Amino acid sequence: MNWITVVWSMNAGACLTLAAFYVAVWCKQREQWMYLLFSSSALAAAAISAFELEMMNARAVDEYQLLVRWVHVPVYVLIVAFVAFVRRYVHAGRAWLAWSIYGLRTLVLILNFIFPVSINFREITSVQPFPLLGQLVSVPVGVPNSWGFLSHVSLLLLLIFSVDATITLLRRGDRRRAWVVGSSMIFAVIFAVHVPLVIWGVLEIPFFLAFAYTAIVAAMGYELSTDMARAARLARELEISENRLLLAADSANLGLWEWDLNAGEIWVTPNRRVQFGLPATGKIRFEDLMSRWHPDDRDGVRQALKEAIEHGKEYRREFRTLLADGSVRWTVARGRAHFDERGRPQRLLGVSLDITARKEAEAIAQQQRDELEQLRQQRTALLEQEVVGRARLEREVIDICAREQRRIAYDLHDGVGQQLVGIALSAKLLEEQLRADRPAEADKASAIVQLANQAARQARLTARTLEGADGVGDLKAALESLAASVNRDCSIKATVEADGSSLPISPPVAAQLYRIAQEAVHNAVEHGAAHEVQINLAFNHEVMLLRIQDDGTGFEANPNSDGMGLRIMRYRAQCIGGSCEVQSSRAKGTIVSCRVPLQAQLPVSALP
């Protein structure tokens, strides 16, 4: 056995070893196609080395022609697998260049088996011996095939693809892969230039493609081994991180779980296995875990899991679990489904937390809230009774005030009013007696007559105001009568605007509203020195609004005013379920607004 046989055999054996190793890796990780591509490249490189060894030892023309024809098969596999590896693994090289290489090499392979000899030679005339480092090897002599330029063009495209991929890696900053993978590709393609030179008879040397292609395989294997070493390191780091995570989860009383939907297996942290009475090792099925849930909660948990898997919703559920010791614990679980690139659910990841303490605290808090609610209801009942009693007393006070006002009104009308009228008549008689002889004293008597008449009119107005509004009948008519009396007795312009001919209110409500209007008008005349008073009455389907506005001097309005009149108006409004607001200023006069809610559904009428 000569040294050429030993070297080429060792090269083929090394490539076969790499191919076998990465085929085994690919069988365990079927989704990693780069391992299969590398194995194909290494197997093809081993085949090329074997073919070259046979060609160098061939002595007959027919034998050499057969080897030259079939060597294109591993060359085709190696180039196609190598380009696909670069595209898939390092994500470099232009796609159109890759597809051009695929197509051209396929055409070369087809034409190679169509021609009588091969695509490289139209005819091999002889095989000549060539001395190589003390050994004789065979060199072909023949007529080149003109269609062989397609094979040479494919080598040129492969060179362009290699340079483009190398430039792409350098631009990304991945210099290591650029020099290891890129330089090996460029070197192999440049080294393969000797093939057309041998075919055309420029060089009389044997083919040496095996070691060039082995360099590419070595570079690819180096990158894959680097990634495998990195994966092993990451696996160790992941194991350390997982141990830390499990320690943190145990400290926080958290349980981690993962449901592999394809395999139908569930992984649960060891602490949850112990709590649920599950075996420390081995597979856990969904049915095993479901048996640990409380029977009343199983349907709800199953439905939440189904929605999370089918619709991609977040899984969150509180449920009870039955532990190995027979105790019942509350658990909250949260998770989310993960899908593949086709949108199919692959696994469900989540965490679970024991919330029994929180549930017990919530139960105690709910019991306390129920007790507080019971105390509140009792206290509210007492307050309501107190409010009812105070309201009764206030109504009695109001009734007493009303009766007292009527008594005072009758006294003013029948007593003081009549006496003032008598004083006015007496002063008038005195004026007539003094007019002829003593005119100066007659003028004074006339002044007394005027003052007495004014006092009498004021007494009658006050008497009517104090008389009250019991039995006012139609509120609109009562307000118009009030405005007429103010116009007549006080020389003040008073107007009334009211919506509709009949108002949807009961007599007690009408009486209280009339009293409020009386008080407001009285305040405008007595204290505001007003020249004009406007009374507006409007309603819609919800409320009735009574609005009294004057142009008097006004006062500084205060919601908490201690004025007796203001307090009485507010109280009267409250008695009929309404509210009373007073707006006043020194420059704009006073506005009294009383709103009363209506129970009946009435036609809508705009409020002023």
pLDDT in tens, 206-243: 776 776 777 777 777 767 677 667 767 777 777 777 67
Question: pLDDT tier at 179 (50, 70, 90 boundaries)?
Answer: confident
Tokens, residue 238: 């992941």
Inter-helix orientation angle 209-251/72-85, to 10°: 40
Asked if residues 97 and 161 have their Cβ atoms less than 8 Å apart, the reply is yes
Asked if residues 441 and 434 have their Cβ atoms less than 8 Å apart, the reply is yes
pLDDT reported for residue 600: 40
Asked if the model's pLDDT at residue 283 lies above 80, the reply is no
pLDDT reported for residue 249: 63
Average pLDDT on 46-75 reads: 84
Residue, of 459 and 159, whose pLDDT is higher? 159
| Residue for token pair 């007019």 | 435
Which of 111-125, 127-141, 143-157, 356-370 is predicted with the least confidence, judged by mean pLDDT? Answer: 127-141
pLDDT reported for residue 605: 36
pLDDT reported for residue 103: 92
pLDDT reported for residue 520: 87
Residue, of 560 and 246, whose pLDDT is higher? 246
481, 492, 584, 569: which is closest to 533 by C-alpha?
Answer: 492
Question: pLDDT tier at 473 (50, 70, 90 boundaries)?
Answer: low
pLDDT reported for residue 253: 65
Which of 145-149, 331-335, 415-419 is predicted with the least confidence, judged by mean pLDDT? Answer: 415-419
Distances, alpha carbon 233 to alpha carbons 19, 220, 229, 243, in Å: 23, 20, 6, 15
pLDDT reported for residue 606: 36
pLDDT tens-place string over residues 284-311: 887 777 888 788 888 888 888 888 888 8
| Beta strand segments in 305-457, E | 315-322, 328-339, 345-354
**Torsion angle (degrees, nearest 10) of CA 424, 428, 429, 432:** 170
- Spell out the domain ranges in the chain: 3-231, 252-354, 473-608
CATH domain 3-231 topology: Rhopdopsin 7-helix transmembrane proteins (1.20.1070)
Asked if the model's pLDDT at residue 28 lies above 70, the reply is yes
Average pLDDT on 178-200 reads: 75
Tokens, residue 520: 């407001």
Question: pLDDT tier at 398 (50, 70, 90 boundaries)?
Answer: low
Mean pLDDT of the chain: 79
Asked if the model's pLDDT at residue 495 lies above 60, the reply is yes
CATH domain 473-608 topology: Heat Shock Protein 90 (3.30.565)
pLDDT reported for residue 499: 73
What predicted TM-score, i.e. pTM, was given to this entire model?
A: 0.45
Which of 172-181, 337-346, 507-516 is predicted with the least confidence, judged by mean pLDDT? Answer: 172-181
Residue, of 184 and 170, whose pLDDT is higher? 170
DSSP string across 421-468: HHHHHHHHHHHHHHHTT-HHHHHHHHHHHHHHHHHHHHHHHHHHHHH-
Asked if the model's pLDDT at residue 562 lies above 60, the reply is no
Phi, psi of 205 (to 5 degrees): -140, 160
Tokens, residue 256: 């981690």
CATH numeric code, 252-354? 3.30.450.20
pLDDT reported for residue 469: 43
Average pLDDT on 367-388 reads: 88
Question: pLDDT tier at 248 (50, 70, 90 boundaries)?
Answer: low
pLDDT reported for residue 607: 38
Asked if residues 578 and 594 have their Cβ atoms less than 8 Å apart, the reply is yes
Question: pLDDT tier at 558 (50, 70, 90 boundaries)?
Answer: low
> What is the DSSP code (8-state) at residue 543?
E
Burial of 388 per CB tally in 10 Å (0-12, 13-18, 19+): exposed
Asked if the model's pLDDT at residue 250 lies above 80, the reply is no
